[in-house]
Amino acid sequence: MTYIGARNTFFCWHVEDNHLYATNYVIAGAPKVWSGVPPSAMARMEEVWRAVFPSLFSRHPDLYYWKTCIFSPKVLAAFGIPCYRAVHEAGTFMFTSPGAYHTGFNTGFNVAESANFAFGGWLPPGAAWETRRPRASLTSAV
């Protein structure tokens, strides 16, 4: 994927599709600011997310996968969830691990690209994750 960022544009909390690894490279321009939760805190973060947005989750149990929610890392800190911040400068890479929730914003105009990838060891846990993923019913999607 190629991304064109502008000042204060953002990407919502999410894990990579199918819990793959990801790399993001800022080709040129202003930095991105990332916040991330380690994979070891994934389940606890999802509990907080459900507590913060209970009515949304009652209608859409697969809300985690929509990439539509954003909230301050301070919310996670209030619940004791570790959250880390990184500034991603042009000419550098950012890597995310499977199951690591992340969000961020652009500090100005930039151009970036990203790719998902997997190692051979990803296949068994990737298949197991797919069977656990909540599915929205037709009525909950309306």
Cα–Cα nearest to 45, from 81, 74, 19: 81
pLDDT at 71 over 50: yes
Contact 25, 95 (CB under 8 A): no
Smallest CA-to-CA distance from 35 within 80, 1, 72 is with: 72
Render pLDDT for 13-43 as a digit per residue (tens, 0 to 9).
999 988 899 999 999 999 999 999 999 999 9
φ/ψ of residue 10, rounded to 5: -140, 170
The token duo for 128 is 């197991």
Which pLDDT score is estimated for 133? 61
| Structure confidence at residue 32 (pLDDT) | 97
Arithmetic mean of pLDDT over the chain = 88
pLDDT of residue 139: 46
* pTM recorded for the entire structure: 0.84
